[in-house]
């Protein structure tokens, strides 16, 4: 049974002490990223408070400037959209350290492919400690990713000590928010450790890259099959902006485009899901229910 109600989704996400995510039975998943998506209760609240400034509207407007204004080329859209979204996230996450950030995300992608193969096979407890080719590769990749992000963080901390700013990208905003929280509360225990910052940086890739690239490709497919929507959307854009370049805050004026996006997201199962469960409270919300007391909700 499926029932999608925005108020009910908000109710579930607001009660993270009641509806909690199930833990991974396969510990190999921790090699990808832990971060806020896997935390609950007080630890989730602490991470959310420190991460929140990185996603304020004014900050998002600044990041919109990094995308090229125009360009044209015939291409295979799937790999290109993957590269595009990866490049955008690399720039917004690491700013001037974009090239190193892109390398980190390439390693994350390789890691994900290996881990997904293991997820699709029978899991034997303790098998991750065996000296197999894939296990060795995962450990090497994890080490390189950790060292690369730690190097970026160390450079930002040294720059701050020298009187410079942390930076306006996600990493800089996260470090600044974390530093402010520690200073205001007077103890490092209220902030994130370096390892926790690394995990959040790794999570940014999985939270945005694949979901966005899949959504863009699916949008192209959907528009090709429903060309009347193409015409309506194009007409709305021309009426709203003409030949002018739209500003970030003006995109909310595109009602037809927004409606189209919402419609094909809700009617097609194209995104990853997050799961929450409740053991002490009667469930009053029904989404995708696969087993007793387990709710699966689309991330986007």
Q: Are residues 62 and 185 in the same domain?
A: yes
- Residue 219, in any domain of the structure: no
Q: Are residues 31 and 133 in the same domain?
A: yes
- pLDDT tens for residues 211-267? 778 888 888 888 888 888 888 888 998 988 888 888 878 888 888 888 877 766 655
For residue 99, the tally of other CB atoms under 10 A from its CB is: 10
Give me the percent of the chain exceeding a pLDDT of 70. 74
147 has a pLDDT exceeding 80: yes
Q: Are residues 165 and 295 in the same domain?
A: no
N-term to C-term CA, the chain: 19
Q: Are residues 191 and 244 in the same domain?
A: no
- pLDDT tens for residues 178-222? 999 999 988 888 899 989 988 888 887 777 777 778 888 888 888
Q: Which helix (H) or strand (E) holds 289?
A: strand 288-291
Burial 4-21 (b: 16+ CB within 10 A, else e): eeeeeeeebeeebeebbb
- Confidence (pLDDT) at 283: 42
- Residue 234, in any domain of the structure: yes
In Å, what is the CA distance from 41 to each residue of 13, 45, 80, 161, 261? 11, 6, 39, 33, 32
139 has a pLDDT exceeding 70: yes
Residues 144, 192: Cα–Cα separation, whole Å: 21
For the chain, the domain total comes to 2
Q: Are residues 202 and 269 in the same domain?
A: no
- Residue 218, in any domain of the structure: no
pTM: 0.58
- Residue 217, in any domain of the structure: no
- pLDDT tens for residues 108-137? 888 888 888 887 787 778 887 888 898 899
- Single out the residue in 160, 176, 211 at which a domain terminates: 211
Q: Are residues 58 and 155 in the same domain?
A: yes
CATH of the domain at 55: 1.10.630.10
- Residue 120, in any domain of the structure: yes
Q: Are residues 121 and 259 in the same domain?
A: no
158 has a pLDDT exceeding 90: yes
More confident residue, 71 or 199: 199
Q: Are residues 247 and 203 in the same domain?
A: no
Residues 24, 22: Cα–Cα separation, whole Å: 7
Give me the percent of the chain exceeding a pLDDT of 90. 11
In Å, what is the CA distance from 6 to each residue of 11, 118, 288, 294? 9, 35, 15, 18
Full residue range of the structural domain in which residue 156 is found: 26-211
| Token output for 120 | 């699709």
Q: Are residues 35 and 125 in the same domain?
A: yes
Q: Are residues 263 and 122 in the same domain?
A: no
8 has a pLDDT exceeding 80: no
């Amino acid at each position: 049974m499926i029932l999608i109600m925005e108020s009910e989704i908000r109710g579930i996400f607001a009660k993270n002490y009641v509806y909690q995510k199930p833990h991974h039975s396969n510990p190999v998943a921790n090699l990808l990223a832990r971060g806020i998506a896997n935390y609950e209760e007080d630890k989730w609240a602490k991470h959310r408070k420190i991460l929140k400034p990185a996603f304020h509207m004014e900050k998002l407007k600044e990041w919109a400037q990094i995308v090229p204004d125009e360009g044209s080329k015939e291409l295979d859209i799937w790999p290109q959209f993957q590269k595009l979204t990866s490049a955008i996230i690399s720039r917004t996450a690491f700013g001037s350290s974009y090239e190193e950030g892109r390398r980190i995300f390439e390693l994350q992608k390789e890691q994900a492919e290996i881990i997904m193969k293991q997820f699709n096979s029978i899991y034997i407890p303790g098998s991750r400690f065996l000296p197999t080719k894939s296990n060795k590769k995962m450990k090497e990749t994890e080490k390189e990713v950790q060292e690369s992000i730690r190097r970026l963080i160390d450079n930002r901390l040294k720059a701050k000590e020298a009187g410079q700013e942390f930076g306006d990208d996600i990493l800089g905003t996260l470090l600044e928010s974390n530093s402010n929280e520690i200073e205001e509360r007077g103890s490092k225990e209220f902030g994130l450790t370096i390892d926790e910052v690394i995990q959040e940086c790794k999570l940014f890739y999985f939270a945005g890259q694949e979901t966005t690239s899949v959504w863009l490709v699916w949008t192209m497919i959907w528009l090709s099959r429903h060309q009347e929507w193409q015409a309506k959307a194009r007409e709305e854009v021309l009426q709203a902006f003409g030949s002018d370049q739209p500003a970030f805050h003006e995109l909310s004026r595109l009602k037809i485009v927004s409606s189209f996006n919402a419609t094909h997201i809700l009617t097609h199962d194209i995104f990853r899901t997050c799961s929450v469960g409740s053991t002490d409270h009667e469930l009053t919300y029904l989404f995708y229910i696969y087993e007793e007391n387990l709710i699966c909700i689309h991330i986007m």
